[in-house]
């Protein structure tokens, strides 16, 4: 097999399968983002902000970038009317980021569309297999969030 060929799924180990699945998810995420006239990073920003305002430092940590690097993303989001920065009450130096009404509508529409598209990846699985897959993923995610896993 040449270096450019992808091994058949049945020949991959769990890590190889996760890598291929990650590529599929990223591809779907990019396509759905494009359909909503968003970059994948803008879509992530909107989805993160759906749960409520976040501080710039918190967002920078979420995106794995310095606060200064987040400024460009926020400049573009504000220019499009999707999000806005405002002062944090009681802390003159801190800024928080909120969705605008247009940003909330865009986030909800994207979130619904990406959910449907990603659920399509599991359409051929039995209900029991989908449940087992969801339980396993949740366990991996929880392990990483608590610091018990390799993340």
The mean per-residue pLDDT over the stretch 30-38 comes to 97
**Three-class secondary structure of residue 98 per DSSP:** strand
What is the number of helices (H) and of strands (E) in the chain? 6, 3
Q: Enter the tokens of residue 140.
A: 């991996």
pLDDT of residue 128: 96
pLDDT for residue 103 is more than 60: yes
- Is the distance from CB of 109 to CB of 119 less than 8 angstroms? no
pLDDT of residue 69: 86
The mean per-residue pLDDT over the stretch 119-127 comes to 94
pLDDT digits (tens, 9 = 90+) for 45-101: 999 999 999 999 899 998 988 888 899 999 999 999 999 999 988 888 888 999 999
- Please state, rounded to an integer, the average pLDDT across all residues of the chain: 89
Which bin fits 64, alpha (ψ -120 to 50), beta or left (φ > 0)? left
CATH says 13-146 is which class? mainly alpha
pLDDT of residue 9: 56
Overall pTM surpassing 0.75 (yes/no): yes
Alpha-carbon gap, residue 82 to 130, rounded angstroms: 34
């Amino acid at each position: 097999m040449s270096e450019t060929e992808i091994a058949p799924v049945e020949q991959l180990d769990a890590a190889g399968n996760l890598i291929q699945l990650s590529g599929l998810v990223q591809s779907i995420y990019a396509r759905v983002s494009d359909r909503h006239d968003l970059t994948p990073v803008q879509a992530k920003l909107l989805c993160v902000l759906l749960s409520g305002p976040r501080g710039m430092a918190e967002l920078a940590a979420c995106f794995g970038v310095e606060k200064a690097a987040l400024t460009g993303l926020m400049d573009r989001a504000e220019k499009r009317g999707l999000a806005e920065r405002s002062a944090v009450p009681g802390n003159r130096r801190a800024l928080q980021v909120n969705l605008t009404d247009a940003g909330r509508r865009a986030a909800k529409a994207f979130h619904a569309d990406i959910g449907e598209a990603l659920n399509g990846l599991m359409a051929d699985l039995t209900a029991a297999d989908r449940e087992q897959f969801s339980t396993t993923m949740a366990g991996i995610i929880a392990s990483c969030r608590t610091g018990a896993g390799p993340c």
